Structure 1
Amino acid sequence: MTDTLDQAPTAPAAAPAPVRHPARAAFGAELRRGIAPWTAPAVALTIAVPMISKAPQWQGGWGDTQELLHSCATLLAGPLVAAAGCWQGGREHRRGTAALWLSVPRGRPAQSVMAALPVAVWAVVGHLLAVVGVLAATWPYTGAGGPSVGMVAVDAWFLVCAAFTGFVVGRLWRWRLAAPVLAAATYLALGAPTYTSSDLRFLNPAEQYYLAGRVPVAWFVPVMVVWAGAPVLALVIGYAARRRLLALVPLAAAALVAPLIVSGGDDLFRPDPVAERLICTEAVPRVCVSGLDGPLLSQASDALAGLRSRLDGVAGAPQRYVHVPEGGPAPAGAAPLPNHTRGWTVVRGRLPDPADYAHQTALRLAERDCPLAVIMAEDPAARRMWETDEAVAQWLAPLDGAWLDPDLGGTYLARLTAMGGAERRAWLGRYLATRTSCDPKAVPAL
């Protein structure tokens, strides 16, 4: 009895260590070793460096920012990711372990996905890091609206496709220089179609879209995901699967969506409703800018103060100065404002040259939409009309360095300047009444 009481209590049996799923363990190891984790910083730097070097050209506009982001992600990061996937795919040949891998129980499709997916994951991580940084840098200078999540998703998906394509090439092409050669070939294959004018260029994932004031249509993302992913899936199936005829299924899907992309062409994007909404000053004549350029409203109004004061009391003077989409007509009773070019007329949400902005507005107020025959006419009457327009624009918004013919435009400007206030307002009223006319005889003489 005493011996029983003196015995020390036994410790409870230790719980067995949790067993990780073999696939998760293998995937975690692949994420941490080899070239895969280096893909993220490489992609981030490949996108960030050219974006930083051209910052004045995109900061302040969501569309301008995503235009360059799309180009960098596809045309620059795409070949890099394809090369990384190719290097990953060729590692078994370099190590001499290809036969050993064929002997393991896991099938070739699972082996291929497990080896290629880490490169794709890190490529997307690097892409998203660059995107977040760039969008954060442009946000303080923008107006309303926001970035297109669909464009970010399509670009990220393209990098995934590039990684798997490169991986299969690396498995099939047993050459140490296969990765850099594939990168160069990918760059050429993506870049060459951007110089063509055919609508077939929209099948190129690296097509340089014009995104300023435009957003993708609703079906753009799913169609582009199918178009970019289906051929890659067919390639992977053809390499890894036993039933290789299954590769025809994704190829058929790609063939179905290709005509939608080609027929859509430039209509793959629609005007951004925020860009079409105007933000206006209260004072008349009003200045109205696009909703995307809200921070420019007060600056534009201040820049046009002199022009508006010189037209005060003139019959037919514009009641509004409005942003008009490029190529579109101005509303009745309104004058169009100049279109912006990031990095030139607008830099980080500022007008670097208000005097030039006012002068460009005056030129657009005085310009005429005439047939080419009238524009190219050499007769004295037509030349007098064009020089009168130039003189009026220079008087309304003087700009140092503006060129005027000394014998015509310079003389007209001097006469307009020498007029009395009432006489000048009366003449300007007659002049503004002929803004839509291409008949030189209708323009009052100076």
Structure 2
Amino acid sequence: MSTSFVRGPAATVLRAELRRGITPWTGPAVAVCLLVPMGAKAAEWQGGWAETQEMLHTATALLGIPLLAAIACWQGGRERRRGTEELLRSVVRGRLARVAVAVVPLMLWAAAGQLLALGAAFAATAPYAGPGGGPSPVLAGVDLGSLLTAAPVGFVVGRLVRWRLAAPVLAAVCYVLLGAPSYTRSPARYLSPAEQYVLREAEPVWWFAPSLLAWTGGVAATVLLAYAARRRLLALLPLVLAVLAGAVVVQTGDGLLRPDPAGSRRVCSAPDAGTPQLCVPASLAPVLPDATEALTEVFARLDGVEGAPARYVAGGARPRRTNGEAPLGYVTRGWGFHRDRLDDPREFAYDTVLSLLNPDCPADRRGKDRKAADRAASTEDAVRAWLTGGNATWYPKAQPYLARLEAMPALERKVWIGRYLTGLRNCAPNGVPVL
């Protein structure tokens, strides 16, 4: 009977806290705080699961955590603003119970707002996502846990600091403390919830979530128990847990992520006689039709040329030029590629030809002679302009060279271009013909 007496009033107070004051506005505030910057940069992440979670991770850490800390700080000072501190001390319920009843509703609403933003981001990505990869529930859980730990810390600060500007100042301090470690090379930067993780070809290790959640949750529990627990020595337990988890995080460092075989999988265009294959990471597979169309003229001009690449590879894979491979023009979501479409197909074709004509050679293939180097540069610009069907732009002196190349008979020009590509591939300065 006494148990029901205790549980009944506590549940009633919790329901009241969920519906009154600033608490119910926490969820919409967090959702808007995350969705507005996400929407402003939608072109950079929409369509890629890794890019979506990387952007949401950054927004949650640098915007969501400071916002929730400020809201909780303001909530922590409400009794002082109302002048009811003395009245609260006279109630039977202990300080820890009173704090929990005030903080838990904030955490519930913040979780709802963050999950709403997560669902909206995933819904926006799904129609454009390629066949490779998928969302990471591990990182989503870590982001949610890191966000919620801001509530008890902010609430305690609000209780202890008697200053009306404590909330905005706390938000600014949180932003600086979370963002500053990213500019260092120390392994301690991984303790920050705002540390950037590149998920395109990697996945978290199994202790990623337990160690990070134990670290952030341990710090929050330490602050809460040190302030509100009747036996404050209990705060040592989460403190020890946080220290141990933090040590694991720091020692692991870059090892928190491991290569993901599924993420590094390549998808190639269908083989077609006379048309080289294009290979990109699976997550960028939707760009293949646009990329193939953008390179149609380049492929046509290289058709029948001895030594022309049979495959173009993108996504960080090192092309094996000796096996008929060449690098594809730079393509990544948010940079020249938005929502499955190339922004500028002509620029993409130019980048591909630029990569084709600039092999990774240990020394400058043009030599040290200035006149010879200028002639080699003008020849290269002329070849680049002819392959892309554009004008020579890098070197004004290249126009006569381009005219000579265009004046060649078609068969002779194919042979010459073949010799030119072979010389480049072999990194032999003397073997590269000039016009």
The TM-score, its normalising length taken from structure 2, stands at: 0.90
What residue in structure 1 maps to residue 57 of structure 2?
A: 70
Answering whether residue 412 of structure 2 is matched by residue 443 of structure 1, we say: no
Structure 1 residue 345: Cα displacement = 0.9
Q: Greater CA deviation, 332-341 or 47-56?
A: 332-341
Q: State the Cα deviation string for residues 378-413 of structure 1 (Å, max 9, x = none).
A: 73334444443333222222346x623122x33332
Within 1, Cα distance between the matches of 2:257 and 2:368?
39
The question of whether the paired residues in 2 share the 8 Å contact of 1:385 and 1:440 is answered with no
1:366-405 paired onto structure 2 within 5 Å: 366-371=357-362, 379-399=370-390, 403-405=393-395
Answering whether residue 118 of structure 2 is matched by residue 131 of structure 1, we say: yes
Q: Give the alignment partner of residue 413 of structure 1, picking from 389, 402, 405.
A: 402
What SS is found at the alignment partner of 1:275? coil
Structure 1 residue 276: Cα displacement = 1.9
Answering whether residue 352 of structure 2 is matched by residue 361 of structure 1, we say: yes
The question of whether the paired residues in 1 share the 8 Å contact of 2:330 and 2:351 is answered with no
Within 2, Cα distance between the matches of 1:185 and 1:119?
20
The question of whether the paired residues in 2 share the 8 Å contact of 1:391 and 1:404 is answered with no
Structure 1 residues 110 and 386 mapped into 2: Cα distance closer, same or farther (>3 Å)?
farther
Q: How many residues align?
A: 426
Answering whether residue 292 of structure 2 is matched by residue 301 of structure 1, we say: yes
What SS is found at the alignment partner of 1:270? strand
Q: Which amino acid in the other structure matches residue 235 of structure 1?
A: V
Identity of aligned residues (%): 50
Answering whether residue 184 of structure 2 is matched by residue 196 of structure 1, we say: yes
**Larger CA Rg, structure 1 vs 2:** 1
Q: Give the alignment partner of residue 421 of structure 2, picking from 414, 432, 439.
A: 432
Q: Give the alignment partner of residue 329 of structure 2, picking from 329, 334, 338.
A: 338
Q: Give the alignment partner of residue 310 of structure 1, picking from 293, 301, 311.
A: 301
The question of whether the paired residues in 2 share the 8 Å contact of 1:40 and 1:125 is answered with yes
The question of whether the paired residues in 1 share the 8 Å contact of 2:294 and 2:349 is answered with yes
The question of whether the paired residues in 2 share the 8 Å contact of 1:63 and 1:214 is answered with no
Within 2, Cα distance between the matches of 1:436 and 1:262?
44
Q: Which amino acid in the other structure matches residue 204 of structure 2?
A: P
Q: State the Cα deviation string for residues 336-355 of structure 1 (Å, max 9, x = none).
A: 21232433311111012111
What SS is found at the alignment partner of 1:242? coil
Structure 1 residues 410 and 368 mapped into 2: Cα distance closer, same or farther (>3 Å)?
farther
Q: State the Cα deviation string for residues 26-78 of structure 1 (Å, max 9, x = none).
A: 21111111211100111111111111122222212222222221111111111
Within 2, Cα distance between the matches of 1:435 and 1:324?
22
Within 2, Cα distance between the matches of 1:380 and 1:271?
47
What SS is found at the alignment partner of 1:215? strand
Structure 1 residues 21 and 385 mapped into 2: Cα distance closer, same or farther (>3 Å)?
farther
Structure 1 residue 81: Cα displacement = 0.2
What SS is found at the alignment partner of 2:337? coil
Answering whether residue 172 of structure 2 is matched by residue 172 of structure 1, we say: no
Structure 1 residues 302 and 221 mapped into 2: Cα distance closer, same or farther (>3 Å)?
same
The question of whether the paired residues in 2 share the 8 Å contact of 1:143 and 1:291 is answered with yes
The question of whether the paired residues in 1 share the 8 Å contact of 2:327 and 2:352 is answered with yes
Structure 1 residue 119: Cα displacement = 0.7
Q: Greater CA deviation, 425-434 or 265-274?
A: 265-274
The question of whether the paired residues in 1 share the 8 Å contact of 2:313 and 2:319 is answered with no
Tell me how large the CA RMSD over aligned residues is: 2.4
What residue in structure 1 maps to residue 412 of structure 2?
A: 423
Structure 1 residue 125: Cα displacement = 0.7
Answering whether residue 43 of structure 2 is matched by residue 52 of structure 1, we say: no
Within 1, Cα distance between the matches of 2:409 and 2:365?
32
Structure 1 residues 248 and 375 mapped into 2: Cα distance closer, same or farther (>3 Å)?
farther
What residue in structure 2 maps to residue 258 of structure 1?
A: 246
Within 1, Cα distance between the matches of 2:360 and 2:314?
18
Structure 1 residues 134 and 419 mapped into 2: Cα distance closer, same or farther (>3 Å)?
same
What SS is found at the alignment partner of 1:228? helix
Within 2, Cα distance between the matches of 1:299 and 1:203?
41
Unaligned runs of 5+ in 2: none
What residue in structure 1 maps to residue 342 of structure 2?
A: 351
What residue in structure 2 maps to residue 151 of structure 1?
A: 139
The question of whether the paired residues in 1 share the 8 Å contact of 2:14 and 2:105 is answered with yes
The question of whether the paired residues in 2 share the 8 Å contact of 1:382 and 1:440 is answered with no
Within 2, Cα distance between the matches of 1:389 and 1:271?
38
1:9-158 paired onto structure 2 within 5 Å: 21-144=8-131, 145-158=133-146
